[in-house]
Amino acid sequence: MLRARVVLCFLLSPLALMGQEAPTLTEEEFLAVVTEAHPVKAALAGEHELAAAETLRASLLPNPAIEASIENLPDGAARETTVGVTWTVPLDGRRALRREVAERGLAAAESRLQAARFRLRLDLRATYASWAFAWERRELLAAQLVRVGELAERARARARAGEIPGLAARRFNLEEAQARADLGRAEARLATVRAALAAWYPEIAQDARPASLSLPGVAGTAPAIALRPDLVAREREVERAEALRRLSGRIFEAPSLGLGWKRIEDRSATASGPVVSVGWTVPLFDRWQADRREAEARLSIAHADLELASVRAQAERAGALAAFDRLRAEAAEADRSAAETVDLLAGASASYQLGESGLTDLFDTLRAALAARITALEMREAALAAQRDLEATFGRPITGEIL
């Protein structure tokens, strides 16, 4: 009869952990929290706003200069008044090239902003995954503590009744203490990742729980490596460097034209008339030699940076894909092994109830089942981390068309 009560408590103990259902926060809901109004978005957009301002500056015409002067002779015999406007005519092609440089810089900043936002999304997914798996681990260990506690209590009762030695009951007490310590570590880990989550989402409910993350699908056809935002940004930097090189080749500057009116007054007569002037900077000494050398160096650096980044991206994708395929297969196998623990526990319970095995055998089976479930949990976590690494090499979220 006592055996039947032990088995019944063993089978029903997980139900004791089930209370009122807490609000569930899904990964999609968490990712949606960081909207355009979030401070991190404004921080990421800083470079883009500066590049947009530079584009606006390059598209504006130069301002005219207005001059006015009055000159009186020392004896007061005459006075000269001059009013004029001077303007540098943007006809040397530099304004169009400066605008092209700024536009290429803006395009590069837009791609870098896209890449930064995508990295932020990956960081948020990793934070949520840490919370979800810490929660699942805590739930597994909490259920384990309940089961072990029930078994230890039954063992102590049997020891008091003289059915088993007291040393055996003490062994179960040690196992219960170990289960409680394991749960304590899991609780501490959950508190840490919960705090990291709250840093992104301060309004999260105190009793919120994460949705379980399932095993990812099989990777299929990946988008072209050149579509990655960080590589697109480097391509725009190459184009910007080429425009800068063309700009540095413009040696002659546009002339400045002046138009005004001069009035001369003396004691006997007054005369006035238009004044036309032309000013031009002669490129005699500074012919932009340093600028051309700098532009050539920037172009060479941009080409090398793009080439190195492309090669590295190809290698990272190959490695991430191989790791993902292997970890996903191992995680699927671990899930199948964990699913078999249900029948294993049922068989061990029946064997104990029939007296074919002892309480120690039942307890060893319980620990083996927990180990299998934790392994499945860890492998699923590793597979999802590998999926995020693979997604990083894609440069965009993995959708159904890729999986």
Contact 97, 263 (CB under 8 A): no
Selection from 48, 97, 92, 45 nearest residue 240 by Cα: 97
Which tops the pLDDT comparison, 267 or 295?
295
- What is the distance of C-alpha 182 from the center of its chain? 32
> Can you give the pLDDT at residue 352?
65
The pTM of the full predicted model, rounded to 2 decimals, is: 0.80
Distance CA 366, CA 91 (A): 85
The DSSP code sequence of 241-300 is HHHHHHHHT--SPPPEEEEEEEEEEESS-EEEEEEEEEE----SS--SHHHHHHHHHHHH
E runs forming strands in 267-396: 270-279
DSSP category for residue 206: T
Q: Which residues pair with 256 in a beta bridge?
A: 88, 279
What is the greatest pairwise CA distance in the chain?
139
Distance CA 216, CA 380 (A): 9
> Can you give the pLDDT at residue 221?
61
Which tops the pLDDT comparison, 323 or 172?
323
Distance CA 246, CA 230 (A): 25
> Can you give the pLDDT at residue 1?
43
DSSP category for residue 316: H
**Pseudo-torsion of CA 223, 229, 235, 241, nearest 10°?**
180
Distance CA 106, CA 96 (A): 15
> Can you give the pLDDT at residue 17?
43
- Token look-up 């919960």 returns 194
- What is the distance of C-alpha 190 from the center of its chain? 22
Distance CA 34, CA 357 (A): 55
> Can you give the pLDDT at residue 104?
95
Which of 241-245, 295-299, 333-337, 366-370 is the least confident region?
A: 366-370
16-31 pLDDT, tens digit per residue, is 444 456 789 999 999 8
Determine the Cα angle at 55 with ends 51 and 58, to 5°.
Answer: 135
Selection from 146, 130, 129, 140 nearest residue 191 by Cα: 130
Q: What are phi and psi of 28, to 5 degrees?
A: -65, -40
- Cα within 13 Å of Cα(300), Cβ side: 6
Question: In this model, does residue 111 exceed pLDDT 50?
Answer: yes
Question: In this model, does residue 287 exceed pLDDT 60?
Answer: yes
Selection from 55, 86, 56 nearest residue 68 by Cα: 86
